Amino acid sequence: MGTIINSQLPELLDILTLKSEEPNVFIGKNLFIGSPNVYGGQVLAQAVAVANSTIHDEKILHSIHSYFINPGDNDIDITYKVEVVKNGKSFNTRRVVASQNGRDIFILSASYQKPENGIEHQDIMPNVARPESLTSFSDLFAEFAAEFKIQPRGIFAPNGPFVFHPVEHYDPFHPRIRPALNHTWFKTNGSLDDNPLLHQTTLAYASDFNLLITALFPHGLSFFTTPMQIASLDHAMWFHRPARTDDWLLYVVESSNANNGRAFCSGKIFTKDGILVASTAQEGLIRKL
């Protein structure tokens, strides 16, 4: 499986390789995917990448907790500063602060654990249609893009860094009321090498997709039809087991609550074989304008 022609995947891999200006200080470029501000998953993934680069033992990233403080400007490089909070026997801790022009836009805490044996169990993957039998977001969106004169980008574009195959048919221009539950298959738009840290960072990048839009389903809303402000406020992620992001993964997302202009969403990510590899949780701002 090679990279799809004109895929943005090489650009994504490029921005996930950050330049080090001085010890534990890195400069990151931005990948424009159509959002008015820097895509939150990009800042998340770059913060994970720089935190990973300061780990020099066998410990593996198992959880991240982060806050989006200010919107990021697509036209300005992002500075990431990593603080070594702890280097322990079983766990390491890192703190990352991202800023633009001296203004903090994002903070992240990351925890790493030395591999060890213990009890094991996991949720069962839902029985849903396989990805090969489904239509991609980009193909679904193309049916409407010409009619509404919209240029597909990011999740809706055929050249995006990831390919998404929704299980439930999604028409962003004619939203219907449905339960706050979403199943989407995804993978990179091309192949990756075997570096497990790269698969972790790209998984973090993709984890911000599809979370908040799930909270719109019970209300029959879409940001293509209803003026609204929608933005991630925080993002937590737990890495349970290794995964390859260039093979199909199922993202199961549900929204259990919305009030006071905020919505809470949580997700589980499974391999095609039903292995639970990660869990996510996010609260986001949703304001009708």
pLDDT in tens, 147-158: 666 766 666 778
Buried b or exposed e, range 1-25, using 16+ CB within 10 angstroms: eebbeebbbeebbebbebeeeeebe
State residue 148's pLDDT score: 63
Q: Which residue has the tokens 């997302």?
A: 253
Which residue, 30, 105, 35, is CA-closest to 66? 105
Which residue, 114, 108, 16, 109, is CA-closest to 60? 114
Q: Is the pLDDT of residue 262 over 70?
A: yes
**Statement: the pTM of the whole predicted model exceeds 0.85:** yes
pLDDT in tens, 191-204: 999 999 999 999 99
pLDDT in tens, 180-233: 999 999 999 999 999 999 999 999 999 999 899 999 999 999 878 888 899 999
What is the rounded distance in angstroms from the CA atom of residue 52 to the CA atom of residue 129? 35
Three-state SS at 148 = helix
Buried b or exposed e, range 188-208, using 16+ CB within 10 angstroms: bbbebeeeeebbbbbbbbbbb
Judging by DSSP bridges, how do beta strands 78-87 and 19-22 pair with one another? unpaired
CATH number of the structural domain 9-116+128-288: 2.40.160.210
Residues with Cβ < 8 Å from 141, sequence gap 6 or more? 152, 156, 157, 172
Three-state SS at 145 = helix
Q: Please identify every residue annotated as catalytic.
A: 208, 232, 282
User: What are the residue ranges spanned by the domains of the chain?
Assistant: 9-116+128-288
Alpha helix positions (H), the chain:
9-15, 40-52, 137-148, 196-206
State residue 3's pLDDT score: 44
